[in-house]
Amino acid sequence: MKSGQQVVTGSDAPATGEHSTRAAVARLLLEQGPISAAAVAAELSLTGPAVRRHLDALIADGEAEIRPAPRRGARTRGRPARQYLLTDAGRVRFGHGYDELAVSALRFLRQHAGSDAVHGFARSRVAELLGPEAPRIAAAGTARTRAEALARVLRARGYAAQTGDAGAGVQLCQHHCPVAHVAAEFPELCEAETHAFAEVLGTHVQRLSTIARGGAACTTHIPLEAPERLGSDRSDAPTTTAIPVPTGQTGRQRA
């Protein structure tokens, strides 16, 4: 048994130890996988039923997977030997260095290629984020339906986005941001996103809060009518024309 690992012995382990025991099983799969259930049981001093319960739970959550054990010698009767290892989703619980790597890369880019290169990267990233869906969003019809179409695309990209009414406008809330930690040092990412939203929606937008700046969500206000179209009978006519963002009016400075 590895030093420092918390162990709960037996299939009758108290519920309060379930989480720590499952974490110990997952760590063993990370460090020694592919590994058999019997080897996990021996390493952690657990019973077979206890190990299988935790392995089944990890598999059900998509954090572990099974692969056939390599055969040694002649085939024997009985259930084929199986081994367990973590999936990519299972490795997430132990963290990644992606944020640190991204920050280091952007620092290097700024140092050696200048701030314009960082802005260019940010614009390229958000263009890839929206991808071929951008023209479809821009042609979705009314300002409200364009905002809803944008939210659907962002949800599909993992941003947990939704829209809600906000007086004379719509609020787009992104409850998750995969690059929040990087954007905390490089607000260019938020600025490029805000600008891209304005372009694809065909109106100015105002960024009210961001996760990168400590907000509970990235919240963007989208007016239902562009200022120069207020009072027009065609205020909801579809458009793909970007309206320049007035200096100091949007949340780009607070992104």
> Please, what sign has the CA dihedral across residues 96, 100, 102, 104?
negative
Q: Which structural domain, as residue segments, surrounds residue 27?
A: 15-92
Task: Write out the H or E segment, with its range, that includes residue 218.
Answer: strand 218-223
Q: Does residue 112 sit in the same domain as residue 45?
A: no
pLDDT over 60 (residue 255): no
CA 96 to CA 84: how far, in whole Å? 21
- Partners of residue 220 on adjacent β-strands: 172, 207
First to last CA, the chain: 48
Q: DSSP class of residue 35?
A: B
Q: Does residue 116 sit in the same domain as residue 232?
A: yes
The residue type at 240: T
- Flag whether 128 is in a domain: yes
**pLDDT by residue (tens digit) across 231-247?**
333 333 333 333 333 33
pLDDT at 240 (0 to 100): 33
With a pLDDT cut of 70, the percent of the chain lying above it is 78
Task: Evaluate whether 155 touches 161 at the Cβ level (below 8 Å).
Answer: yes
CA distances from 218 to 104, 166, 210, 243 (A): 24, 15, 4, 21
- Partners of residue 68 on adjacent β-strands: 82
Task: Evaluate whether 217 touches 202 at the Cβ level (below 8 Å).
Answer: no
pLDDT at 14 (0 to 100): 41
CA 170 to CA 163: how far, in whole Å? 7
Q: Does residue 223 sit in the same domain as residue 109?
A: yes
pLDDT at 249 (0 to 100): 37
Q: Does residue 215 sit in the same domain as residue 103?
A: yes
For residues 170-174, give the mean pLDDT: 96
Q: Does residue 146 sit in the same domain as residue 73?
A: no
- Flag whether 10 is in a domain: no
Q: Residue 50 maps to which CATH number?
A: 1.10.10.10
Q: 167: pLDDT confidence band, cut at 50, 70 and 90?
A: confident
Q: Residue 131 maps to which CATH number?
A: 3.30.1380
- Put simply, whether the predicted model's pTM sits higher than 0.85 gets the answer no
**pLDDT by residue (tens digit) across 114-157?**
999 999 999 999 999 999 999 999 999 899 999 999 999 999 99
Tokens describing residue 76: 């024997």
- Flag whether 2 is in a domain: no
- Flag whether 7 is in a domain: no
Tokens describing residue 194: 């805000």
Task: Evaluate whether 138 touches 147 at the Cβ level (below 8 Å).
Answer: no
Q: Does residue 143 sit in the same domain as residue 240?
A: yes
- Flag whether 8 is in a domain: no
Q: What is the number of other CB atoms lying within 10 angstroms of the CB of residue 131?
A: 9
**pLDDT by residue (tens digit) across 189-236?**
999 999 999 999 999 999 999 999 999 899 999 998 754 443 333 333
- Of 92, 127, 153, which marks where a domain is finished? 92
Looking up tokens 């949800």 gives: 155
